């Protein structure tokens, strides 16, 4: 086909009405472009639907050397990345990711369990897997952070020591604690100031909230 097209070009023959598998011709594309305000409108004019048709139309327009500058998608103002700052309000969403990153930085392998599950992470230390429940807190009580260790839902209950092995706690200062469940068994909430012995080394490049 490429060879035939080359000979047609050499002879100056018009083959724009050849559409192949297309249902529209080059002339129809040329006619649809000037009055359209978007590629979606061009596709609609030619009786096409779906996002992939836009790429096809762009390719043919480029091949024909058509002016499509007026179809450029309007750019929405976006906040500069350098202006972004971590927000304490997002700590709960990021908790499991931060915990997983800490273990990976320490050279451990992290697995994500299937939901629903009592623990948030599995951390492999050799052939043994430690079940990690991640908790975050942004609640201050005097000079300390208060963290709830109970299950969520209508009725809060302490975690069963047979269900998890450690709590990975992240406070509002982004300090991390790894507390064995046996150390806080049966407790609904704790003050982190009483558990400084379980505080972990800070991660590299930590950004305060």
The full set of domain ranges for the chain reads 2-71, 83-198
Is 40 within 8 Å of 52 (Cβ atoms)? no
Look at 59 and 2; give whichever has higher pLDDT. Answer: 59
Residue 90: per-residue pLDDT: 93
Q: How deeply is 190 buried, as exposed, middle or buried, from its count of CB atoms within 10 A (0-12, 13-18, 19+)?
A: buried
pTM flag (> 0.75): no
How do residues 118-133 score in pLDDT, each as one tens digit? 899 999 988 889 999 9
pLDDT digits 0-9 by tens, 70-101 = 887 655 666 677 777 889 999 999 999 999 99
What Cα–Cα distance (Å) separates residue 19 from each residue in 24, 43, 51, 133?
6, 16, 20, 60
Give the CATH number of domain 83-198.
3.40.1350.10
């Amino acid at each position: 086909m490429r060879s035939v097209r080359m000979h047609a070009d050499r002879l100056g023959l018009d083959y724009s009405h050849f559409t192949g598998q297309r249902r529209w011709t080059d002339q129809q594309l040329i006619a649809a472009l000037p009055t359209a305000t978007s590629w979606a409108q061009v596709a609609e004019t030619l009786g096409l639907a779906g996002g992939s048709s836009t790429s096809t139309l762009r390719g043919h327009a480029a091949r024909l050397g058509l002016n499509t500058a007026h179809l450029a998608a309007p750019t929405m103002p976006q906040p500069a990345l350098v202006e972004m700052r971590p927000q304490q309000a997002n700590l709960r969403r990021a908790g499991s990711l931060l915990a997983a990153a800490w273990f990976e930085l320490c050279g451990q392998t992290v697995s994500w369990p299937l939901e629903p599950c009592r623990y948030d992470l599995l951390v492999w230390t050799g052939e043994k897997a430690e079940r990690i429940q991640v908790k975050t807190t942004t609640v201050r009580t005097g000079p300390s952070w208060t963290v709830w260790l109970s299950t969520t839902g209508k009725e809060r209950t302490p975690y069963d020591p047979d269900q998890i092995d450690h709590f990975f706690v992240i406070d509002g200062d982004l300090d991390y604690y790894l507390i064995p469940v046996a150390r806080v068994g049966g407790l609904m909430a704790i003050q982190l100031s009483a558990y400084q012995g379980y505080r972990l080394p800070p991660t590299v490049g930590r950004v305060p909230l």
